[in-house]
Amino acid sequence: MDFDMGDAAAELRTQLRELIAAQVPHDYLGAFTDDPADLDIAQKFCATLAEDGLLCMSWPQQYGGRDASVWEQTVVREEMWAHHEPRGAQYMGVNWVGPIVMKHGTGAQRAQHLPPIAAGEVIWCQGFSEPEAGSDLASLRTFATRDSDGWRINGQKIWTSYATMAQWIFLLARTTKLEPGGRKQQGLTIFLVPMDAPGIQVRPIRTMLGPHHLNEVFFDDLRVTDADILGEVGAGWSIVADVLSFERVGIARYARCERLLHAAPQVLGDAWEQLPGELRSRWARMLVHCRRARLLAYRLVAAQAAGNVGPGDAAGYRIAVTKLDQDSAEVLMEILAEAPNSAPDYHWFRGEVEDHWRYSQASTVSSGSIEMQRILLSRAMLAAS
């Protein structure tokens, strides 16, 4: 089978790498550090991409895109993730908030939300997980109650990325009381809420990952209206299924793994040949796993374009790519321990590898634990048998 994306994709990849080299510092490790300048770099880079029509390439022109193919958007996704996501938190709006609003939103919601996302001017966060509703998301307790002029929302979300800097939250709440024996997935509703609305409080969560981007978010009589509802009242779970299919293919983790693995022999130079044979064999195996994850991603992209992504497809890819993240990080840390301090790119390589290792530790938990992904994959396989 031929997986060559063609000349246009190759030219786009070159263009993106040139932009990154010109505008993103060589030692950049992402927007979410202790240095506010890193977030500023990401915001400016997003504006540049938007001006060139590269931020939301696959979106329709009427919404600020270029009607590009899903494969061109895949190139963008790969190059961004390989270089520590210089779009910052914008990938959330670009990859799934925007497409979900296009699919389920009203005309007014599309007009309000899509242009700022396409211009790279707004950051979104996701109000899904709760202290007792993570992988079992449908067990959430945040409740929206009808009142005379709209809804009042009370509850708590946790592990909410970018909540301190986001202007909007994609919020899932229960709008119908769960009856004994009823399906937990029923009676859930999506709200699109500005983060500066009265009744929202954000508390940062410090973690071993270093500078924080995870938060708790509390809702105390937050008032919203029917105009803030995405889709139908009580039909939020079907939208969540769409969100997860977009979200889980949206991060090309394999691209960063592959880039760092290819950099290792160059950084070590002559010392590469002195590595234990077993370690170099594991390095080669990781490159094979990178290719496997890439091809799984491409199969998922093709299925998504055809509108027939199944939960088992997304789960299988998610398992492969998150395990790759962790396994490659372990191999790279062992290689780093053997690298000579005098190597020209040693300090750059050390920063990249250590950052990759830290963030890989949470990869099999975030966006649905690997145990839940295995359950989803098993169910899909049993249903198909």
Domain of residue 380, residue span: 251-384
Query: Is 166 part of any domain?
Result: yes
For residues 150 and 260, membership in a common domain is answered with: no
Query: Is 112 part of any domain?
Result: yes
Query: Is 335 part of any domain?
Result: yes
For residues 172 and 268, membership in a common domain is answered with: no
For residues 306 and 207, membership in a common domain is answered with: no
Query: Is 244 part of any domain?
Result: no
The pLDDT value recorded for residue 318 is 84
Tell me the three-class secondary structure of the chain, residue by residue: CCCCCCHHHHHHHHHHHHHHHHHCCCCCCCCCCCCHHHHHHHHHHHHHHHHCCCCCCCCCHHHCCCCCCHHHHHHHHHHHHHCCCCCCCHHHHHHHHHHHHHHHCCHHHHHHHHHHHHCCCCCEEEECCECCECCCHHHCCCEEEEECCEEEEEEEECCCCCCCCCCEEEEEEECCCCCCCCCCCCCEEEEEEECCCCCEEEEEEEECCEEEEEEEEEEEEEEECHHHEECCCCEHHHHHHHHHHHHHHHCCHHHHHHHHHHHHHHHHHHHHHHCCHHHHHHHHHHHHHHHHHHHHHHHHHHHHHHCCCCHHHHHHHHHHHHHHHHHHHHHHHHHHHHCCCCCCCHHHHHHHHHHHHHHHCCCCCCCCCHHHHHHHHHHHHHHHC
Choose one of 64, 87, 122: the last residue of a domain.
Answer: 122
For residues 223 and 305, membership in a common domain is answered with: no
For residues 56 and 90, membership in a common domain is answered with: yes
For residues 255 and 369, membership in a common domain is answered with: yes
The pLDDT value recorded for residue 1 is 45
Query: Is 178 part of any domain?
Result: yes
- CATH number of the structural domain spanning residue 342: 1.20.140.10
- CATH number of the structural domain spanning residue 52: 1.10.540.10
The pLDDT value recorded for residue 237 is 94
Query: Is 241 part of any domain?
Result: no
Query: Is 1 part of any domain?
Result: no
For residues 224 and 320, membership in a common domain is answered with: no
For residues 129 and 231, membership in a common domain is answered with: yes
Query: Is 62 part of any domain?
Result: yes
The number of domains in the chain is 3
For residues 258 and 201, membership in a common domain is answered with: no
For residues 29 and 73, membership in a common domain is answered with: yes
For residues 221 and 292, membership in a common domain is answered with: no
Choose one of 122, 144, 169: the last residue of a domain.
Answer: 122
For residues 312 and 265, membership in a common domain is answered with: yes
Per-residue pLDDT of the chain (385 residues; tens, 9 = 90+): 456 677 888 899 999 999 999 999 998 988 887 788 998 999 999 999 999 889 998 899 999 888 888 888 899 999 999 999 999 888 889 888 999 999 999 999 999 999 999 999 999 999 999 998 877 888 899 999 999 889 999 999 998 988 999 999 999 999 998 877 778 899 999 999 999 999 999 998 877 666 667 899 999 999 999 999 999 999 999 999 888 766 655 678 899 999 999 999 999 999 999 999 999 999 999 999 999 999 988 888 888 777 776 777 778 888 888 899 999 999 999 999 999 988 889 999 999 999 999 888 877 777 667 787 788 788 888 887 7
Choose one of 122, 144, 174: the last residue of a domain.
Answer: 122
